[in-house]
Amino acid sequence: MRARIVLILIALTTLWTLVIARAAFLQLWPNARLKSLQKRQFETVVTLNPRRGDVIDRNGHELAVSMTMYSLFADPKIIEQPKRVSKTLSKILKIPVSQVDDKLKNKQKRFVWIQRRIDKASRDSIAELKIRGLGFIEESERVYPNERLLSQVLGFVGGDGQGLEGLELRYNDELQAAQKKVSLARDARGRPLIVNGQVFTQAPDGADVQLTIDREMQFVLEQELSAVVRDHQADSAIGVVLDAQTSEILAMSSSPSFDPNKASEFSPDRRRSRAITDAFEPGSTMKTFLVAGAMARGLIQPNTRINTEGGSLRIGKRVINEADAKHRFDSLTVSEVLAYSSNVGAAKIGFKLGDKALLEILKDFGFGERTGIDLPGEARGIVQGLPWHEHLLANIAFGHGIASTALQVANAYAVIANGGFLRTPYVVKAVRDHESGDVIDSKPKTLRRVLADEHVAKMRMMLTGTTADGATGVNARVPGFPVAGKTGTAQKVNPNGRGYLRGGYISSFAGFLPANDPKFVIYIAVDHPRKDYYGSAVAAPVFSKVAKFAVRRAGLAPVMISRENMVQTKKVAARVEAPAAAVPAEPMGAVVPDLAGLTLREVMSRVSGTGVSVKVQGQGFVTHTTPGFGSKISPTGELTVFLSHDR
């Protein structure tokens, strides 16, 4: 008996030793098959999108952000009464019962998404039910807090957080960090062991992108574009505002726009950024570059007289007429060709140049090539190859037979505004990486010099003349600030066939201010306005409203126009013989600034050195003046200021 007990004890000891040894082997020595089995049984791998970086304007205001949302998942194998659970979730999430039921049917699956990115209220309602087999993971959702503001520039993202259009697409790699794969550990009963929120906080952030855009200026631009479309029953309108010196984009939009929070509800036509994707015939805004190029080649000067044939020019079987019957003159100076927007005068200058030289000029100013803006989908525009027959040469000279984008026109005007340099426009000011802490700043990029100083000075003078009394751009004026610019009224190409659309026009105005020291370049184009169609009546007033806000926001002081501040101090520029429409011969300049509300001391400081003789009526603060705000100073240089203590 004793021997048996010993044998049994030895056998049991041996057996337990083998079990312990096996257990130690399984725990201490890796086994690929067992590890794979363990992962299948106790882990679920979920791919999460990281938190997308924010997009902010130049002053730090949020334009696109990522907000915390909650994604609901389930383990169908351990859910009890799936039919009841489906009905309950359907009611809270406001989705069809069948949609939930289909996901809970397959008991072989241990992880299924029920609904991605639900709000906190829905999450809390479901969590209170304490349904075994349901769980949440925190994720981020792209939100555009300003809704339609800057929507066509920003673009939007898809359901998986991937940029699909606009800035979101172009800078997707920077905004979106690498995806993260997370293993959800489960206990023996299949319940998640990870505490809600840990998964989300482990995901890395994408970089933040700061734009050159000024949110407030963007808002004003969009409001004015919407208004002009409504008031003139137009198909659409486009606007661009540039920093005159750097070509930074301060505002850019087209109307109608869309809400990127609901991008799928809008057509691609509404979502595209028309300012860079749509090319159209720019019309008379192109005469500026014709004149600048011809003057740079020594063929004309501001006071060179052009035979304008009484406003009608026959070329073969075709006749070129002036757009406005009131502007049919026998002859005009080059300055007047711009001021009265003479098609015949432009054609005659085009003939002086010839097709090869005019093509070179257009290329120099950036037409026929992409500007290089850091956004996707930019069009090149259309500049036909040589040779050009005589009628086509004439048409191109006044802005027909060529197609350009709104941004190309605005950037070409920036050449005259910034002193003669073609620069690359850009919308991203800086990229800030959260992981490395690096900040990449964008810098202005100069492509080439197009105009010399003396030609820049002359062009500024002549373009200021186009906004004088009687000129086509008078409605673009901003009281207290000299405006340089040019109207455009182009026939609209028929989108459904050959030739032009009957009664269809694109009305535009391009310019910059203050003309003597440019800060802003603004371009407005209105597509197919049905109430009025001249650029002077449709687009120029929009320019004026946007420009007024721009100078106020920048805190610019009103300018008292004089020959000295219109023509730069360089000797070569000072010899410019200014056209009468551009710089009057009065002692102080062209217009009276807004002096209302100032003290007499402030008035005297403002007019000091301008040659103005001030007469004072009353005491206190300025209520009004004679001549009035925005009017020309009399030839004697006399200004009467009326003051009162009652403001």
Which domain CATH number covers 622?
A: 3.30.10.20
Q: Regarding predicted confidence, which is higher, 46 or 12?
A: 12
Q: Give the whole-angstrom CA distance, residue 179 versus residue 409.
A: 41
- Does the structure show a pLDDT above 80 at 15? yes
Angle at 516 between CA 512 and CA 519, to 5 degrees: 45
**Tokens 């300003």 sit on residue:** 146
Q: Is residue 411 part of a domain?
A: yes
Q: Is residue 573 part of a domain?
A: no
**Tokens 């405006």 sit on residue:** 483
22, 26, 27, 28 alpha-carbon torsion, rounded to 10°: 90
- Does the structure show a pLDDT above 90 at 606? no
pTM above 0.95, yes or no: no
Cα separation values, 221 from 4, 239, 243, 252, 474, Å? 101, 7, 15, 8, 20
- Does the structure show a pLDDT above 90 at 208? yes
Give 261's contacts (C-beta < 8 A, 6+ positions apart). 143, 144, 147
Residues 420 and 328 in one domain: yes
What was the pLDDT predicted at 35?
Answer: 63
Peptide bond before residue 256 is cis, with ω within 30 degrees of 0: yes
pLDDT tens column, 422-455: 999 999 999 998 777 788 999 999 999 999 999 9
Contact 73, 112 (CB under 8 A): yes
pLDDT band at 601 (very low <50, low <70, confident <90, very high): low
- Does the structure show a pLDDT above 70 at 329? yes
Q: Give the whole-angstrom CA distance, residue 284 versus residue 343.
A: 8
What was the pLDDT predicted at 185?
Answer: 59
Residues 187 and 233 in one domain: no
Span 477-485, average pLDDT: 93
Q: Give the whole-angstrom CA distance, residue 215 versus residue 474.
A: 28
Please tell me which of 11-15, 145-149, 174-178, 490-494 the model is most confident about, judged by mean pLDDT: 145-149
Q: Is residue 107 part of a domain?
A: yes
Residues 200 and 325 in one domain: no
The CATH number of residue 146's host domain is 3.90.1310.10
pLDDT band at 503 (very low <50, low <70, confident <90, very high): confident
What was the pLDDT predicted at 565?
Answer: 53
Residues 628 and 488 in one domain: no
Residues 185 and 286 in one domain: no
Q: Which amino acid is at 610?
A: T
The CATH number of residue 301's host domain is 3.40.710.10
pLDDT tens column, 237-253: 999 999 999 999 999 99
Residues 23 and 98 in one domain: no
Domain that holds residue 332: 215-554
Q: How many domains does the chain have?
A: 4
Residues 139 and 10 in one domain: no
Residues 232 and 349 in one domain: yes
Cα separation values, 434 from 61, 123, 236, 356, Å? 18, 29, 40, 52
Q: Regarding predicted confidence, which is higher, 153 or 196?
A: 153
- Does the structure show a pLDDT above 90 at 176? no
Final residue before a domain boundary, out of 554, 572, 599:
554
What was the pLDDT predicted at 102?
Answer: 87
pLDDT tens column, 86-140: 999 999 999 998 998 888 888 777 788 899 888 889 999 998 988 988 988 887 8
Query: DSSP letters along 528-555, please?
Result: S-SS---HHHHHHHHHHHHHHHHHHHHT
Contact 156, 263 (CB under 8 A): yes
- Does the structure show a pLDDT above 60 at 634? yes
